[in-house]
């Protein structure tokens, strides 16, 4: 996870990620992932209007917790039928979005950078 191109910025490090950062291009005001306290614990992508885990709009589901995220969950709003993360067998064993050509974490295509590795 140290070199994902989706998250990292021009210097390919967490120092200057372009996707998670805000207008000031710093961890002070990131708009997608981090919160005011600059930690993955309070990402703004999953947060709601109050910029806290109290009202996340993208990841959490009806129970407002990571147990029931709506972004990953399917029609029944539970990990039983997630539509985005899971693969054909409807389990984390074969996720279609995170995994790469060999359908394993060895070659994920969405998360990894140009070298297609977790390094």
Tokens of 78: 């539970």
pLDDT of residue 39: 38
pTM for the predicted model, two decimal places:
0.12
pLDDT of residue 85: 40
Tokens of 63: 């129970």
pLDDT of residue 86: 37
pLDDT of residue 21: 38
- Spans in the chain with pLDDT lower than 50: 1-119
pLDDT of residue 7: 39
pLDDT of residue 59: 39
Where exactly are the structural domains of the chain? 1-45, 59-103
Region of 25 on the Ramachandran plot (φ > 0 left; ψ -120 to 50 alpha; else beta): left
pLDDT of residue 108: 40
């Amino acid at each position: 996870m140290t070199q994902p191109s989706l998250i990292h910025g021009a210097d390919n490090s967490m120092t200057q990620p372009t996707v998670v950062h805000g207008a000031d291009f710093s961890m002070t005001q990131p708009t997608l992932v981090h919160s005011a306290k600059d930690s993955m614990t309070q990402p703004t992508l999953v947060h709601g209007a109050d910029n806290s885990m109290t009202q996340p709009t993208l990841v959490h589901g009806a129970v407002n917790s990571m147990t029931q995220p709506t972004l990953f969950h399917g029609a029944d709003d539970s990990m039983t039928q997630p539509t985005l993360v899971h693969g054909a067998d409807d389990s984390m064993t074969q996720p279609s979005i995170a995994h790469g050509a060999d359908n394993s974490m060895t070659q994920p295509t969405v998360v990894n950078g140009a070298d297609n590795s977790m390094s």
